Chains A and B, each alone.
Chain A
Amino acid sequence: MTRRRAGGPTVSRRSFLKGGLGLGAVGALGLTGCSFTPSSGGGSDLGGTTQLRMLNWSDYIDPPSEDGSSPGTLERVRAELGLQVAYDESYADSYDGFQIILDRAVNRENPEFDLVVPVNWRAAQMIASDWVEPIPLELVPNHVNLDPAYMSNSWDRGSRYQMPWQTGITGIAYDPALTGRPLTSINDLFDPRFKGRVGLLGEMREAVGLAMLANGDDPSRPTVQGAEAGLNRVREAIQGGQVKVVSDDFDDKLASGELIATMAWSGDTAVLQGDRPDIEFVIPDEGAIQWFDAMVIPKRAANIAAAGRFMNYVYDPANAARITAYVGYISPVLGVQDVLRASGPDGVALADSPVLFPDAAARNRLFTWGGLDPETETRLDDEFLRLVP
């Protein structure tokens, strides 16, 4: 899975980036009063301050503009903080892909990464296993810009060990011309009329979570019975040919007409909508699954201070807005919407997007997988993965 398939952002977003998110606009918002000037030596307990080795999903950060007129976040970090970032985009998925975190960070006395960005439930596992360092709050004053909605997780109350990178919604994307009607319910994915032309993402917690919502169960407080019922529904749909398991290529298949409806990630769909504005993305009536990728610092990382400085930088609303504008996912940083709105017509369009900034009513219909005991989760993962070709 990639959070953003490589392929480039829409022209409008690029031009938005080129147009520049004026820093002056941010200053007026009063949210970035927390500037940070690192001491030359850095904290001895927190390691190095000028080198950072980061592992992230592919195409998940804004690059420099093609004409070179506007630097990307990594270039800005280098210029503004004097921080050299060795940025690795090889993190591919939450199952086999997670092995890279285990092999190169967790199971090493000297981890190869100072910052990794697994999905929320993997971050929860890492925290529970004591594989991560606490966030150096003294170096991250912009922690105060973290949206409180992401601070209530039972596995990290107050967000002491992780800071969300981007947030996404797994809902339904469809081509209205091909479905012939609006889709508003998860049950629409199981409509026999659409048999064989519906995509189902190969992520257990999202696929089973949506099925649970369709069954009337709450995936944010899952029970074993509810999760098994959801898995059974998914199993029947796959084995009966109702749905095809898809991955990050769901948007291509939707664009080509191979699929007429699919479980979809909001960010990737937002990018697709740049080219195909007729494609619809909906949060179904029963609700949708919300997830986020979280920045965590592996235990014994050599450059904790550098990781803290980077986190602080990307939690400045002005900097976060640039990333949001490129990746098309929900930002966990307060003030991003205001920065976008103040930056011009393109920014206003993004700021008004209900997918990027869902309102309170929509948020009330978003469910984050609540987690079961580790044995049950492993069993469900195994059973689900057996269904995936």
Chain B
Amino acid sequence: MVTITSPPRPPHAPAATPAPAPPVARPARARARELVARDVEPRRWSRSNSPGWYRVWAVLTAATLAVLCAVGSAAAIRSAGATGRIRSDTAPALLGSQDLFGSVSEANASATAVVLSGATGAEDRSRRSLYVEALNRASAQTEELSTLVGDDATSRDALKQIAVALTTYSGHMEASRRENALRGTEAEAELRTALDLASTDIAGAVDTVTERSQDRFAEERQRGRLITLVAAGCAVVALAALIRLQAGTLARSNRIVNLPMAAATVLVALELVVLGYAGVVRSTALGRAESDGYRAIQATALLQRSGFQLQSQLSLDLLAGQTDNSDTRRLQLTGSVNSNLAALSSIADTDRERAAITELGIRWDRYQQATAPLVEGKGAATPATIREFQSSGLSAFNGFNTTIESVLLDNRSQFTQGVEDADRPTRWLPWLAVIAPLVGIVGVLVGAQRRLGDYK
């Protein structure tokens, strides 16, 4: 309460000069407002008295919470967005680029087998179906990838290049097949052109798409992490302000807990915990997806590529009558398959995976055993050796290849699961980031008002 009195005049004060004409009398209410403004307002916001302290800290804390609301929600939205993009675009693009090369490799191996079988006068129908399916799959995967890479110009250019190259590739393959059926002389040349196209233009473009996808994966992963840290920092500051307000309130109110403020403090503390939890879960899950899933996918894809390349090379050599087992290229590819198998084995982290890789090794041995008699012989392959190769070698290779796909699918599941795990806790984070500070602001203001009301 404020009492307004006239100050007493000092005794030695000179006599008052004639008073000027009295001003026009102002209304009492206006005068009261003026006095309040001059005298009371500074004290209202002065921290030296309790009401002022409450007002100052309440406003400061509410402002901090407002900042937390803005930064935290923006951060949470961007973090969830980054994780969501990994789940919906980046991860599928990463997997899709591996799939695409797998399809092209399978088309290569199947097509060479088809051309090879055509040389015997009885084209292998099931291999032909596999070739057509693999090529169709490659085209569909290219289209799908173009929807996943967004506006990334480099990836889009690479995908256009792949689409064109696939058309040219299939043209050469068909020409080779036709030439072979007609006993033409260009069959092998057409086949080699197609295989070269696959191993240079198409493989190079696929690698570009893969690298861009990997870069985006790393960027999105990093982006989410930084933003989460910023939001957590804001939450720490807001929590500190709330705790200070709570401590001051307790000290000035005979230790009576201010419930709205306490609720606000608990809520912001919860937000901080959830932010931390989500950040850790996200980081761990993405790390696991990368280490357990994606690396295994890469190793498996490498294994598949070297296996397919070896298969194509052997088919070509059979056509050309160069079945000498000292062939450098084939030896190199065999070594590559063996080292990739060993790498894959070292990554395996479940009993199921280890069992699948053991099977892979056995099927690879079978393929080598089945083709050993062929590569030991020299000179042009006869229809009989080609038929033998088709019945035993290609069948064994098919077992090896489909087992790779099985392993690949398991690894994909692991990778996808990791990304899903990372995405799950961040989905509802934006809501919490908005609601918690807003409720906190209300709690602080209501709590402070209640204390001020106690004073009145």
Report which A residues bind B (CB closer than 8 A): 43, 134, 136-138, 140-141, 143-144, 146-149, 151-152, 154, 157-160, 220-221, 359-361, 363-364
Partner-binding segment picked from B62-70, B83-91, B371-379, B396-404: B396-404
Contact assessment for B362 and A160 in the assembled complex, using a CB-CB cutoff below 8 Å: no
Identify A364's interface contact among B125, B358, B406, CB under 8 A. B125
**Could you give, for residues 344-371 of chain B, a 1 whenever the CB lies within 8 Å of some chain A CB and a 0 otherwise?**
0000000110111011001100000000
- Which residues of chain A are within 8 angstroms of B400 by Cβ–Cβ distance? 148
Determine the chain B residues whose CB is within 8 A of the CB of A140 once the complex forms.
355
The residue from A137, A152, A157, A220 contacting B359, defined by CB atoms under 8 A apart: A137
Q: Which residues of A contact B363 (CB under 8 A)?
A: 144, 148
**Pick from A143, A152, A359: contact of B398, CB under 8 Å:** A152
A54 to B340, CA, bound (A): 39
Which of B197-205, B305-313, B387-395 is found at the contact surface with chain A?
Answer: B387-395
Say what secondary structure dominates the interface of chain A. Answer: loop
CB distance from B132 to the nearest CB of A (A): 8
A149 and chain B: residue at smallest CB distance = B395
Residue A221 contacts which of B129, B390, B396 (CB distance < 8 angstroms)?
A: B129
User: Is B133 an interface residue when CB atoms closer than 8 A count as contact?
Assistant: yes
CA distance in complex: A141, B358 (Å): 9
Q: Is the CB of A137 within 8 A of B355?
A: yes
Q: A158-B403, A159-B402 are in contact. Are A148 and B355 (CB under 8 A)?
A: no
The distance in angstroms between the C-alpha atoms of A148 and B351, with both chains bound, is 23
Say yes or no: A157-B406 contact (C-beta < 8 A), given A144-B359, A220-B129, A364-B124. yes
Q: Is the CB of B122 within 8 A of A148?
A: no
Smallest Cβ-Cβ distance to A365: which chain B residue:
B125
The answer to whether A158 and B409 touch (CB under 8 A), given A149-B395, A151-B398, A152-B402, is yes
B403 contact set on A, CB distance < 8 A = 151, 158
A159 to B406, CA, bound (A): 7
Q: Which 7 residue pairs across A and B have the least CB separation, nearest first?
A: A158-B406, A148-B399, A151-B402, A138-B351, A148-B398, A360-B391, A137-B355
A360 to B352, Cβ gap below 8 A?
no
B contact residues around A154 at 8 Å (CB): 133
Which residue, of A143, A221, A361, has the highest number of chain B Cβ atoms within 10 A? A143
Residues in B whose Cβ lies below 8 Å from that of A152:
126, 130, 398, 402
A/B interface sample: 29 pairs, CB < 8 A? A134-B352, A137-B352, A137-B356, A141-B355, A143-B359, A144-B362, A144-B363, A148-B363, A148-B395, A148-B396, A148-B398, A148-B402, A149-B395, A151-B399, A151-B402, A152-B130, A157-B402, A157-B406, A158-B402, A158-B405, A159-B406, A160-B410, A220-B129, A221-B129, A360-B390, A361-B122, A364-B122, A364-B124, A364-B125
Chain B interface main SS type: helix
Chain B interface residue count, Cβ-Cβ cutoff 8 angstroms = 33
Give complex CA distance A158, B359 in Å: 11
CA A230 to CA B186, docked complex, whole Å: 39
Q: Which residues of A contact B124 (CB under 8 A)?
A: 364
Chain A residues with Cβ below 8 Å from B405 are: 157-158
With a CB–CB cut-off of 8 A, which chain A residues contact B352? 134, 136-138
List chain B residues, Cβ under 8 A from A158: 402-407, 409
Q: Which residues of A contact B404 (CB under 8 A)?
A: 158
Which chain A residue lies CB-closest to B130? A152
Which residue from chain A places its CB closest to the CB of B125 in the assembled complex?
A: A364
Contacts of B410 in A (CB 8 A): 160
- 13 A-B pairs besides A148-B400, A157-B409 with CB distance below 8 A are A137-B352, A141-B359, A143-B355, A144-B362, A147-B395, A148-B396, A149-B398, A151-B402, A152-B402, A157-B402, A159-B402, A220-B129, A359-B391
| A273 to B402 CA separation, bound complex (whole angstroms) | 36
Across-interface contacts of B351 in A (CB, < 8 A): 43, 138
